[in-house]
Amino acid sequence: MNENEPNAVNERSEDGFVDAMAAVAAVLIPVIAIIYWLSGM
């Protein structure tokens, strides 16, 4: 076994978390902006 494998798994899980947070932000920011814009009408 390669001694770098645990680090690779850890990096993949961290990348997955960052990707998930980016996806949530990409959806949430426009939704909040639209709700804010509509509330001012």
Residue 22: the pLDDT is 96
- Cα 24-30-34 angle, rounded to 5 deg: 140
Residue 24 is which amino acid?
V
Rounded to the nearest angstrom, the gap between the alpha carbon of residue 28 and the centroid of all alpha carbons in its chain is 11
> Which residue do the tokens 């390669």 mark?
2
Residue 21: the pLDDT is 95
State if pTM tops 0.85. no
CA–CA separation, 29 vs 24, rounded Å? 8
pLDDT score of 29 more than 60: yes
